[in-house]
Amino acid sequence: MLLGLGSALVAAVMYGVASILQAVGARNVPESAGLSPGTAVAMLRQPFLLGSIVLMMLGYVFHLIAVRLVPLFLAQTGIAVSLVVTALLAVRYFHDHLSRLEWGAIVAVVGGLVLLSSAAGDTGTERATPTLNVAVFTVLALIVVVSFFATRFEGSLAAAVLGLAGGMGYAVVAIASRLLPDFVIGDLLTSASTYALVIAGVLAFFLYSLALQRGSVTAATTALISTQTMAPTIAGVAFLGDEVRSGFWPVAIAGFVLTAAAAAVLVRFEGGSEPLVDIEETAP
């Protein structure tokens, strides 16, 4: 349990730093008509976006450990600590100020994790089945379809839809990571779950970048954080065998709600608030 939760927290730190880099990099790329190879190439030319990709890949190693060792509701909620990291970084680099409510939200995230940790039971051992593989790729197809239409629009609604799609992509990453077979190279290369998580991760990264271009950071990130936390939580308990300790359901629900509410308060920091120049001027 401690190794799994600790890995989730290390991943959260890396994801939190990566989100700041991703936001400022995405805002230096002119908006395009939609998700296209040209947009992807332009984003990959941004050093800050490349840095965010490296950090996300490193963070994923620890995220993978977490989702294999603890229930998804605990692993994914642990990732919400990334919002605390980005809030503190925003104070340093974007000259934002934390209100009493936001400091309270930071404490609430920690409290929610403590409650969830105390309520977590056995971790599910369900691995990929033909039915689960079909379900995962069906979700990926729906993400692509929704995103195709969402990229034709601007504003907070488009940002929210793209954020939701990106969050679902990251949810698929978490679920597919649980479905992976044992870590034998041959098995991984022939597993549909391996390809599902790679496709979902790449898709989610670019969709969130597009969401940050099109509208409110709050709209984009609230949708992303909510979806990437709730969808794996539901899937883990309903389909993958994750368990809550007997008699601890009220504690688990309270912990989840507390963390989700705190995340909603802190979500404004996730995308940063100023352009790249602030980071360059304040970097040591």
Nearest to 51 by CA among 24, 32, 76, 27: 24
Q: What is the pLDDT along the chain (284 residues), one digit of tens a residue?
A: 789 999 999 999 998 888 788 777 776 776 654 556 666 677 777 788 888 889 999 999 999 999 999 999 999 988 888 888 888 887 777 677 888 998 999 999 989 999 999 999 999 888 889 999 999 999 999 999 999 998 888 888 888 899 999 999 999 999 999 999 888 888 899 999 999 999 999 999 889 888 877 777 777 878 888 899 899 999 999 999 999 999 999 999 999 999 989 988 888 776 655 444 444 443 44
DSSP letter (8 states) at residue 34: S
pTM above 0.85, yes or no: no
Nearest to 191 by CA among 265, 252, 151, 132: 132
Give the span between the Cα atoms of 237 and 234, in whole angstroms: 5
Give the span between the Cα atoms of 274 and 280, in whole angstroms: 11
Q: What value does the CA radius of gyration of the chain take, rounded to a whole number of Å?
A: 18
Encoding tokens for residue 206? 């670019």
